[in-house]
Structure 1
Amino acid sequence: MNIKKRYIALIAFIAIVIGAAGTFTFGLLFFNNTNTGSGLASNDRDLLLELADQQEVLEENMGDMTKVINALTIIKENYVEEVDDNQLIEGAIQGMLQSLDDPYSVYMDKETMEQFNDQIESSFEGIGAEVSMVDGNVTIIAPIKDSPAEKAGLKPNDQILTVDGESVEGLDLYQAVNQIRGEKGSKVTLEIRRPGVEDIITIDITRDSIPLQTVYVEEKEVNDQLIGIIELTSFSENTASEFASELKKLEEKGMDGLVIDVRGNPGGLLPSVEEILKLFVTKDMPYLQIEDPSGKKSRYFSDLETAKDYPVVTLINEGSASASEILAVSLKEAMDYEVIGTTSFGKGTVQQTVSMGDGSTIKITRFKWLSPEGNWIHEEGVKPTIEQDMPDYYYANPVQVKDDPFAFNDSDPNIENIQLMLEGLEYNPGRHDGYFDESTKKAVEAFQEDNELEVTGEVDQSTAEVLQTKLVEKVRSGANDLQLEKAIEVLTK
């Protein structure tokens, strides 16, 4: 064996391990240089213990690294073409993280990290959807409120197959996201696989600026009772303070009941949801538990003495994830508040980022979060106390007109969606089983006439697109929101 090459491979591997601990080393130097007292500060001791643990792990595993070192050496000595050392190291790191089979633990090399930071710092432009890797598929968790993704009809659990005709298979999450993002005004075409839908759906989206607002407030007077509705679209840095401010205004008006709406909220910052929970969960029950890698559980409490003097209901759906689920299950278990809607997404882990020291970063799952009673909802979701679906037309899919328009006497699953859309827009098709009968034809003609389309009684791509647009507008207006109606009914009993 070539000793020099073996030595180089060994040094390269050790560099990977040391790089992972680089942030701890920096922290130690920082605290030592600023410590004005004698001896070690508590932070210094913690960091020394952390470094000692890193060293122990390194020493324990060096014997197991022979196989990795041999693999690097074999590749460099025997591969038919010249191999770049950095390429092998990057591939080794990617492979280690992929072997965890955890979509939330990822590696971003220096170039990917620079692109990610540039896009965040320069603008919030794109389609406006939270995505994750689920079973190897780039999957929509939830479209952001008032975003191009929501307006185009993207839904939770949609799987993105191609971006502008290019397959995303084999890409990691951040590579796929970089393809989907783009400047305001630019267009992107996504091919979508939607659970329960046989055909692949093609959706054209015009990118735009993404709304940064996360707190929306509404008031409703029902039976002489004031009901406050606070919708949270994500948990960002300012969400908790804005929520507290709006809550105080509602309470000063004498609010009789509160709806907290986290439907379609993909989550966000853990401290943000903690600050909100401290406003509701009393000190005798933990609002959250965190389990570390060793299995040790820490319980977190508020200082709140007494509960609110009005009832609270939380709204969730399949697009409610992570921090949204923490909010819902905490209010459910700790305060016995009702949760209405459908079962949430099911993300019960917390991630931390660790710099590798060269501009690259590892985001790794570090903790499990548990409910006040110690339940882990990962991959199961939070179940509502009151199940409530939305009207059928809320779940209608975009219509794909491939060749000839859909016309009288045709039968097709797409026609069932057309009939659902027509019914939702109050054009009675008479049925929604996918058969294009005379009643469906008359409903199509009425819709075309009202929307200044050529009145043919057939559904071509133009009519299908207007149908989709009008239905999305109605859904976004909140009309026939059965889940919200149920929440108000519960609050005003």
Structure 2
Amino acid sequence: MLKKSTAVMLMVIGLLGGSLLTFAYTGYSGGTGSEAGEGLLASLAGNVSQRDDMKKIQTAMELIEGQYYKDVDRTKLVDGAINGMMGALDDPYSSYMGKETAAQFEESIEGSFSGIGAEVASENGKVVIVTPIKGSPAEKAGLRAQDIILSVNGASLEGLDLNDAVSKIRGPKGSEAKIKIQRASSTDSLEYTIVRDDIDLETVTAHMEKDGVGVITITQFSLNTADRFKEELAKLEKQNMKGLVIDVRNNPGGVLSVVIDIAQQFVPKGKTIVQVEDKNQKREKEVSKGSNKPYPVTVLMNKGSASASEILAGALQQSAGATLIGENSFGKGTVQTSYDKQMGDGSLLKITIAKWLTPNGTWIHKKGIAPDVVVSQPEYFSVAPLSKEKPLKYNMNNTDVKNAQIMLKGLGYNPGREDGYFDKTTEEAVKGFQKKAGMTANGVINTETAGKLEANLVESIRNPKNDTQLKRGIEQIRKEMAASASNSK
């Protein structure tokens, strides 16, 4: 595993660059070391057409340097040319990182880093959130998968190279990022003020529910994730665990070998975990060397579950009989490898080299994996924040009022309606909330009331008691445990 490849895999979660987390696929026959670059140079030397192409690029460089009316930075020209080539691929997961950006990866992988904690990709010139990382400032603020980031602190991201866009989003711990986003469910843009923080690199957490149901949450597949998973799984099994819920919601993916290591703890020996297909349609199957478990397993996923998370879900569903619960996954079915040695100057190319398929040969790219049991979270889990531009009060009718009504209902204050009209029943619900929160109960949603509403809502969303998908996953496990016990009698 190349060190900078590792950096590419991990550091995207801090919103420090790149697109979806990179896979390192060691079975790729194209080579990932210096021989790949040497082979390319050799082919260029022996092919007249390719030599002409290189001459054309060189001529363009010379003409710009010699004829452009201002002095130009040759490094910027080279970087621009490479970015142009990567852009021509029309692949949001293939990208170029200049020396400085690659160095940021290098520095960040050595220790803690700060950011808002979201996974992003570039789609049609727009910066799109793949998923906010669990427990990150982005998640706590309410950013969601598929949100389009329009601007940061007033600076538009439209048309920017992804690395340039990311550099505007990242910043030191404690600094504020005013992020304006466009959400499919909202006609108006939304603005969030997010305080950047250190991103927690702990990727695995676990706890035991009653009746012997274990829950393991994986936030990403980093280099130490498989070891941490084994540790937590062993602890649960020592507590006489009888069923397991694996939670990969809002998990953007990670290292291929790591997810394979985790999957083969549940997939019977000889059964397929994942297939990888190269440009020549040559497929290689990764089969399990492990064994299945004597207890039932369910996997929780949502539209923020991407890449390696989808590999795990597909492998456990199709080869280990696990039940998938939640929402349709993101749909990222390609494999990337990074090249740094060949560049020779500290820069890095990340290129899609193959696509991966589920055990039964399905390519889930841009489609995702459908759950066996569809479960959505309550409506207030995804409600947009209030604009706070002006107070909301009786007889108003707009989207902000509708969102406030959804919030009030989610917090147990019945507004009587959720259509955006601020009637007397809504006013009484606001007064009830204000009174409970220790504010002046005037029935007007000013900036203070709006802030309190949103803060209370975040607390409610983070309370496991309100997590419909988790509760359904635990319920499913108990159901399968009971069926197993009945069959064994």
Give TM-score scaled by structure 2 length.
Answer: 0.87
The 2-side partners of 1:49 and 1:132 are apart by 26
The counterpart of 1:313, out of the listed 298, 303, 308, is 298
CA distance in 2 between counterparts of 1:119 and 1:236 reads 14
Percent identity, aligned pairs only? 46
- Whether the 8 Å contact between 2:126 and 2:159 is mirrored in structure 1 is no
Contact 1:400 1:461 in 2 (8 A): no
Q: CA deviation at 1:304?
A: 2.4
Partner residue in 1 for 2:310: 325
Are 1:246 and 2:228 an aligned pair?
A: no
- Deviations 1:415-447, CA, capped at 9 Å, x for gaps: 111111111111111111111111111110111
Q: How does 1:329-348 map to 2 (within 5 A)?
A: 329-348=314-333
Report the TM-score, using the length of structure 1 for normalisation: 0.86
How far residue 198 of structure 1 moved from its aligned partner, in angstroms, is 0.9
Cα deviation for residue 454 of structure 1 reads 2.3
1:358-404 per-position Cα deviation (integer Å, ceiling 9, x unaligned) = 1111111122111111111111111111111111111111011223x
- Residue of structure 2 in register with 1:21 after alignment: none
Tell me the matched-pair count. Answer: 445
Distance 1:85 1:127, change over 3 A: closer
**Matched residue, 1:443:** 429
1:86 aligns with 2:72: no
Q: Would you say the 8 A contact 2:413–2:433 is kept in 1?
A: yes
Higher relative contact order (CA 8 A, sep 6+): 2
- Residue 283 of structure 1 corresponds to 269
Contact 2:125 2:160 in 1 (8 A): no
Alignment-derived partner of residue 212 in structure 2: 226
Question: Contact 1:430/1:440 (CA < 8 Å) preserved in 2?
Answer: yes
Superposed CA deviations along residues 311-366 of structure 1, whole A, max 9, x for unmatched, are 11000001111111111111111123110111111111121111111111111112
For the residue of structure 2 that corresponds to 1:332, the secondary structure is helix
Residue 391 (structure 1) aligns with: 378
Q: Deviations over 1:49-100 (max 9, x none)?
A: 8844651255332234344344334434443334343332222111101100
Does the Cα contact within 8 Å between 1:112 and 1:175 map onto a contact in 2?
no
Say if 2:409 is the partner of 1:423: yes
Residue aligning to 1:37:
none
Aligned-partner Cα distance in 2 for 1:429–1:49:
64
Consecutive unaligned residues in structure 2, runs of 5 or more: 1-30, 480-489
Aligned to 1:22: none
Aligned counterparts of 2:101 and 2:160: Cα–Cα separation in 1: 12
Residue 295 and residue 340 in structure 1: after superposition, are their counterparts in 2 closer, same or farther (change >3 A)? same
Please give the secondary structure, in 2, of the residue aligned with 1:112. helix
Cα distance in 1, alignment partners of residues 45 and 464 from structure 2: 56
Bigger mean CA offset, 411-420 vs 139-148: 139-148
Closer/same/farther in 2, CA of residues 310 and 59 from structure 1, 3 Å limit: same
Contact persistence 1:286–1:334 (CA under 8 A): yes
Structure 2 match to 1:382: 369
Does the C-alpha gap of structure 1 residues 108 and 470 become closer, same or farther in structure 2, counting only changes over 3 Å?
same
User: Partners in 2 of 1:285 and 1:347 — Cα distance?
Assistant: 23
1:155 corresponds to 2:144: yes
CA contact (8 A) 1:126 1:181 kept: yes
Q: Does 1:104 align with 2:93?
A: yes
1:211 is aligned to 2:200:
yes
- Please report how far the alpha carbon of residue 117 of structure 1 lies from its aligned counterpart in structure 2 after TM superposition: 2.9
RMSD: 2.0
The DSSP-based 3-state class of the residue aligned with 2:212 is: strand
CA contact (8 A) 2:206 2:232 kept: yes
Distance 2:126 2:35 in 1: 40
Equivalent pair of 2:460/2:466 in contact (CA under 8 Å): no
Query: 1:230 Cα shift?
Result: 0.5
| 1:48 to 1:157, Cα distance in 2 relative to 1, 3 A | closer
The residue that corresponds to 2:121 in the other structure is 132
Pairing partner for 1:187 from 166, 176, 181: 176
Q: Does 1:257 align with 2:246?
A: no
